[in-house]
Amino acid sequence: MTMASIFSKIISGEIPSYKVAESEAFYAFLDINPMAKGHTLVVPKEEVDYYFDLSNDTLSKMSVFCKDVAKAIEKVVECERVGVAVLGLEVPHAHVHLIPITTLEDLNFSRPKLKLSKSEFETIAENIQKELLK
């Protein structure tokens, strides 16, 4: 028996998260160590480690899900556009980073992360959720 990944525990609610969006197959929530306000992770509910091991069907549906979330992030956070990154070096459960960016440096993962308060996280997540409902 394999242990549920930290992201599966987030999806099931066992570990709290600042949820942004959810569908039958995907879950989006704010990264706890954000590179920028609105930095969001999109995860398939299916627990697969490596992004490129996801099925073509899941990958294409995940892209469309990411697009909808990114369009909502753009409206809530001031940025030039939303950058996309796939790393998976830390958490072995496939996920996409959606990061509001203005310059190349905004996608530098080695930079110190932002420290946000609980209420800042809550407000950002709520505002993105509201945009998605429009």
- Residues near ligand AMP, by CB under 6 A: 6, 15, 17, 31-33, 41, 87-91
Closest separation in Å from C-beta 90 to ligand AMP:
3
> What interhelical angle do 118-133 and 56-76 show, nearest 10?
110
Torsional sign, CA 100, 125, 89, 27? negative
39 tagged catalytic: no
Closest separation in Å from C-beta 104 to ligand AMP:
18
Residue 1 to residue 112: CA distance in whole angstroms: 36
Smaller CB distance to ligand AMP: residue 1 or 89?
A: 89
Smaller CB distance to ligand AMP: residue 108 or 134?
A: 108
Judge contact between 113 and 26, C-beta under 8 A. no
Closest separation in Å from C-beta 96 to ligand AMP:
9
Query: Tokens at residue 106, please?
Result: 């905004």
- Give, in order, the Cα–Cα distances in Å from 17 to each of 30, 37, 106: 7, 15, 23
Smaller CB distance to ligand AMP: residue 129 or 134?
A: 129
What are the residue numbers of the active site?
A: 95
